[in-house]
A and B are shown apart, each in its own frame.
Chain A
């Protein structure tokens, strides 16, 4: 089985930086996905980390430490449209993705 832990809710203001943490315990670890889900919509792919370190993609970056079972998603220059749920999903070899409960981020002006 898997254990995935991420904060339930976070708040931030426009223009700020926010870091959403995810810790996980899983066997056969094969990388970690982050997805974004706006209310009432489908999850959409944000990032995939296989190796340790930081991967940057525009305003969003994702970090992975395999030895610590830890990842974070870093969102810079926050915009109102970034208000959404952010889902952490460690990829376990040979099985379907299991998602965390998600972190609901509210961005205010």
Chain B
């Protein structure tokens, strides 16, 4: 198993552009999570899926953000009309449905810079 994979690793975009990130979870994991992290802060929860169903969304997830997991495998996170405040590390994690003692496995993240 190659773990949780995120692409791209880095993205620089101009303000107002749309960006899309991809996350491939561990294949046996049916839960997938998106977090955002800025410098000096812990990861902030954005949304999570169980299989293809989006079960929870944070208030941080404004209407410019949308996430999908169409076949219950990989997921995409899209940010429309990016703003400078969207600059952050976007982390994806996956877990089994119980989460349990194994916790979450995180990917290496996508670092977004909005200029």
Across the interface, name the chain A residue whose C-beta is closest to B6: A42
What's the nearest-Cβ distance from chain B to residue A95, in Å?
A: 6
Q: Is the CB of A48 within 8 A of B43?
A: no
What's the nearest-Cβ distance from chain B to residue A27, in Å?
A: 15
Q: Is the CB of A96 within 8 A of B42?
A: no
What's the nearest-Cβ distance from chain B to residue A97, in Å?
A: 6
Q: Is the CB of B42 within 8 A of A100?
A: yes
Q: Is the CB of B106 within 8 A of A91?
A: no
Bound CA–CA A45/B45 (angstroms): 17
- With a cutoff of 8 Å between Cβ atoms, the chain B residues found around residue A43 in the complex are 43, 91, 104, 106
Interface residues of B in 63-103 (CB under 8 A from A): 91, 99-103
Q: Is the CB of A42 within 8 A of B103?
A: no
Bound CA–CA A35/B42 (angstroms): 10
* Residue total for B at the interface (Cβ-Cβ under 8 A): 23
A45's partner among B4, B43, B102 (CB-CB below 8 A) is B102
With a 10 A CB-CB cut-off, give which of B41, B45, B103, B106 has the most chain A CB atoms: B103
What's the nearest-Cβ distance from chain A to residue B75, in Å?
A: 14
Q: Is A84 an interface residue (CB 8 A)?
A: no
Q: Is B108 an interface residue (CB 8 A)?
A: yes
Q: Is the CB of A33 within 8 A of B103?
A: yes
- With a cutoff of 8 Å between Cβ atoms, the chain B residues found around residue A48 in the complex are 100-103
Q: Is A44 an interface residue (CB 8 A)?
A: yes
Write 11 A-B pairs (CB below 8 A) sorted by A numbering.
Answer: A33-B103, A42-B4, A42-B108, A43-B104, A45-B103, A50-B101, A96-B33, A97-B103, A99-B42, A101-B41, A102-B42
- Excluding A91-B99, A96-B45, A96-B48, 4 further A-B contacts by CB distance (< 8 Å) are A48-B101, A96-B33, A99-B42, A101-B41
List the interface of chain A (C-beta within 8 A of B): 33, 35, 41-45, 48, 50, 85, 87, 91, 95-102, 104
